[in-house]
Amino acid sequence: MHHSARIASLLVIAALLVASCSGTGTPSATGSAGASAAAASATPRPPKDQVKLPSVVSTELNLASLIAYAKDYFGEENIEVTDFVLGSSSTLRAAMIAKEYDFGLFAFVHDPIARIAGSPWKMVIATYDREIFSLLVRTQLKDSVKAVADLKGMVNLGGDPAAIYTALQSGKVDAIAGWEPITSRVLETNAGYALVPIWDPKSHQEWTGSDHALALGLMTREDVIAAKPDLVKRMVNAHKKALDLIKTSAASALADVILGNSKTAEQFAGLDKALVVKLIERIKPGYGSGCLSKSGFDVEMNIAVTYQLVKQPITFQEFGNTTYAGECP
């Protein structure tokens, strides 16, 4: 790639990553989740640990947790997820730093931001092993915008999923940083096309320099690990079971699981099953075992430092705790 093109590509990556940290609105609980009835046992279990799980609306980030909820893998680990708390990632990060939540689903960059701010976070399991941001351009520009450089001077937007979809569809903006389910909605309605389809292995390699990245995961704080190591282990175990199911099941079967539960189906409101199946097929190759990848960490840390998304780098050992999900070979 020519130097100018490489610079343009990296600038777009930076813009997309900054978009991952933005968003509008305040957190909103999607409702109290009822625990499924446990079978009678001769030795009664202790009361379930109740956990609220904050996150943004991102299928890549949330799918393992949604599967774990719908299949009651949390219940099997004596955990009740009482709420999926949805909001902007920066607001939710502040709440977790303030110890309002013990766990959260977050993109890579929030871990070093929190640590540098004095709250030592740890990723304890990776929920997705690739970057998720595709560059989507409104359909009317398909003949004129064929490369990233063609977007110079046009209006680009990242942020709240509902807002950016509407803005692209109405022509208020020319391009957006999209992830799922927004990407599938844009493509299915022909509101836009993927100039950079990050789910494509060649595009991922070109734009990140690797075929994988430690992009998304379940985060907690060091004080939680110290005080409740068994709960952390069980939270990780529930997600491991879900990741195993994702890897070994057809997309249609996974769609049946999440759409068959009223709580998990909420994150796919307005999408029919056929589109949800397409969506899952598109992102399914990005799921792994949950192990933390040192090389994937290096990809993300390099981008974060190069584009000053963080004030300074942190180490892999500071970033994650591999006790529960392991370090990738």
Tell me the per-residue pLDDT of 65-109, one tens digit each, with 9 for 90 and over.
999 999 999 999 999 999 999 999 999 999 999 999 999 999 999
Per-residue HEC secondary structure of 112-134 comes to HHHHHCCCCEEEEEEEECCCCCE
Residue 14 covered by a domain: no
Phi, psi of 153 (to 5 degrees): 85, -5
Q: Where is pLDDT greater, at 164 or 122?
A: 122
Domain boundary among 181, 208, 235: 208
Pair 89, 230 in one domain = yes
Summarize pLDDT for 170-189 with one digit per residue, the tens.
888 899 989 999 999 999 99
Summarize pLDDT for 185-215 with one digit per residue, the tens.
999 999 999 999 999 999 999 999 999 999 9
- Report the run of H or E that residue 95 belongs to, with start and end: helix 89-97
Q: pLDDT at position 18, please?
A: 45
Pair 234, 298 in one domain = yes
Pair 226, 111 in one domain = yes
Q: Where is pLDDT greater, at 138 or 168?
A: 138
Pair 194, 314 in one domain = no
Number of domains composing the chain: 2
Summarize pLDDT for 263-300 with one digit per residue, the tens.
999 999 999 999 999 999 999 999 999 999 999 999 99
What is the mean predicted confidence (pLDDT) over 210-234?
98
The sign of the torsion formed by the CA atoms of 291, 296, 301, 304 equals negative
| pLDDT > 70 in the chain, percent | 85
Q: Which of 80-89, 151-160, 320-329 has the lowest mean pLDDT?
A: 151-160
Pair 312, 238 in one domain = yes
* Whether pLDDT at 37 is above 60: no
Residue 328 covered by a domain: no
Range of the domain at 274: 47-130+211-319
Pair 233, 294 in one domain = yes
Please list the helix, strand and coil fractions of the chain in percent, rounded to the nearest 5, in that order: 45, 15, 35
Tokens at residue 212, please? Answer: 């994988």
Q: What is the mean pLDDT of the chain?
A: 88
Tokens at residue 29, please? Answer: 């609980």
d(CA 297, CA 203) in angstroms, rounded, equals 19
Tokens 């068994």 locate to 230
Domain boundary among 160, 192, 208: 208
Pair 224, 312 in one domain = yes
At 191, which CATH number?
Answer: 3.40.190.10
Pair 290, 219 in one domain = yes
